[in-house]
């Protein structure tokens, strides 16, 4: 095999302190590194890196506030949506069963990056 497992996924923010608080306090991810421009979170498999983008930088404007394509696996999506909702997380809609059998629920972080919860079929 030429490639190994995915090591890390980068997500971009305009406010690293606010984003770090959301990911540590609201989502309860464990931070393994943080400074003024970067935060690294352990997720159990790949690391999640939050990287600061300067405000009004035309080269990075497209990186913040988009569908991130990052999915967090949960065993009970209904319970996870309820628990995160109680912490102020707003979901784009109720969990939806997919044609392939899994269930997805999308929510946004403070930078409006869209993240996903996924419950895989049994």
Q: For 68-107, how does the pLDDT look when each residue is reduced to its tens digit (9 = 90+)?
A: 999 999 999 999 999 999 999 999 999 999 999 999 999 9
Residue with tokens 């606010």: 18
| pLDDT on residue 29 | 97
- List domains and CATH numbers for the chain: 8-55+65-119 (3.10.180.10)
| pLDDT on residue 36 | 96
CA distance 115 to 13: 13
Which of helix, strand or coil describes residue 31?
strand
CA distance 67 to 74: 19
pTM beyond 0.75: the answer is yes
List the structure tokens of 42: 């352990």
| pLDDT on residue 95 | 98
DSSP 94: S
Which of helix, strand or coil describes residue 83?
helix
């Amino acid at each position: 095999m030429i490639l190994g497992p995915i090591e890390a996924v980068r997500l971009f923010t305009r406010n690293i302190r606010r984003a770090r608080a959301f990911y540590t306090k609201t989502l309860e991810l464990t931070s393994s590194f943080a400074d003024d421009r970067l935060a690294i979170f352990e997720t159990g498999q790949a690391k999640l890196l939050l990287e600061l983008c300067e405000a009004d930088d035309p080269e990075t404007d497209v990186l913040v506030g988009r569908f991130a394509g990052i999915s967090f696996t949960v065993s009970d999506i209904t319970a996870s949506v309820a628990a995160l909702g109680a912490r102020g997380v707003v979901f784009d809609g109720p969990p939806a069963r997919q044609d392939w059998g899994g269930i997805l629920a999308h929510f946004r972080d403070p930078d409006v990056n869209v993240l996903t919860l996924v419950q895989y079929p049994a």
